[in-house]
Chain A
Amino acid sequence: MTDILFVLLSFFAIIGALGMVSLHQPVHSALSLILTIIALSGLFALLSASFLFMVQIIIYAGAILTLFIFIIMFLNVKEANLPKEPNKNLTLFLGSLALLPLNFLILRAFYKMPLLTAPLEHDFGKIKPLGMELFTKWLLPFELISILLLVALIGAVVFGRKDEA
């Protein structure tokens, strides 16, 4: 059962990613990226990371990509504003050939890894132990991330302001 789920989810994730890279219109790319994100959240659920499953759907599919599609609609992109890519398929093909050795190297390093068979704790990946971990061992990175978010907020406001020359 989990095998069928895994194969289906990874199939949809890879199909969505390929569509995202190869489609011409940005809206179509964003929609296929949403397919990939939701399939990846299913894979997180298979790995018993239930909190990350929710975060992935709520934050990525719900907030980031919705904001993204909103921006694409807001900019009102016409066909003439899109870049012309006459030999897009050729560059995609050559690029994928160039990326093959990297994949081969990394996958060969992981080939001998054993299976994930040992039973997990019953609350593995739930929100409470994850929060305990986050606020004890990872407190300093958490605070630094909050500063980073503040800086990004200020940066977005500064960029978005109208410039009075």
Chain B
Amino acid sequence: MIANSLFMYIAVGMILFSIGLLGVISRKNIFVIYMSIELMLNAINLIFVALSNYHHDMGSQVMAMLVIAIAAAEAGVFLSLIIVLYRRKKSLDSDIFRTLSQKEAV
């Protein structure tokens, strides 16, 4: 009864998405920010799959697969960026990475 209503799946997806957004806006640890982005992508995937079941259409499952591929690409770039910045600054504070946006970066 609960498990086959679309509303419950959307509710779980929205709660997970909100927790991910919360992590992005209120934490400073760069690793936690990255994991929150992953969590948001996963929540969107859950909503995609629920809508695919609702519409009897497999297109949104294909879309979820594309989102997983994008997450994999993002993981590679983001982790190598973190490694480079950690070697230079020896810190995981996201405020330090503000130098990326300044002209006279050290």
Chain A residues in the interface with B (C-beta under 8 A) = 2-3, 5-7, 10, 13-14, 17-18, 20-21, 26, 29-30, 33, 36-37, 40, 43-44, 46-49, 51-52, 55-56, 59-60, 63-64, 67-68, 71-72, 74-75, 77, 81-83, 85, 88, 91-92, 94-96, 99, 102-103, 106-107, 110-111, 113-118, 120-121, 124-125, 129-130, 133-134, 137-138, 141-142, 145, 148-149, 151-153, 155-156, 159-160
Minimum CB distance partner of B56 in chain A? A120
Chain B residues in the interface with A (C-beta under 8 A) = 1-12, 14-16, 18-23, 25-29, 31-32, 34-36, 38-39, 42, 45-46, 49-50, 52-54, 56, 58-59, 61-62, 64-66, 68-77, 79-84, 86, 90-95
Which residues from chain B contact A59 at a C-beta distance below 8 Å?
Answer: 68, 72
CA distance A120 to B82 in the complex (A): 44
Pick from B1, B23, B65, B76: contact of A153, CB below 8 A.
Answer: B76
Closest CB in chain B relative to A154 CB, distance in Å: 10
Pick from A21, A48, A71: contact of B79, CB below 8 A.
Answer: A71
CA distance A81 to B45 in the complex (A): 33
Check A141–B66 contact: CB distance below 8 A.
yes
Which residues from chain A contact B53 at a C-beta distance below 8 Å?
Answer: 47-49, 116, 120
Judged by DSSP, the binding face of B is helix
Check A67–B3 contact: CB distance below 8 A.
no
Check B6–A134 contact: CB distance below 8 A.
no
Of the A-B pairs whose beta carbons lie under 8 Å apart in the complex, a sample of 11, sorted by A's number, is: A5-B3, A17-B16, A26-B92, A49-B64, A115-B6, A116-B54, A142-B66, A149-B73, A155-B80, A160-B80, A160-B83
CA distance A136 to B94 in the complex (A): 43
CA distance A151 to B64 in the complex (A): 21
Known contacts A49-B52, A118-B56, A148-B69, then 20 further A-B pairs from the complex at CB < 8 Å, ordered by chain A residue: A10-B12, A14-B19, A17-B15, A20-B32, A26-B29, A33-B39, A36-B16, A63-B72, A64-B72, A74-B83, A111-B7, A115-B6, A116-B4, A116-B5, A120-B56, A133-B59, A149-B72, A152-B73, A155-B76, A159-B77
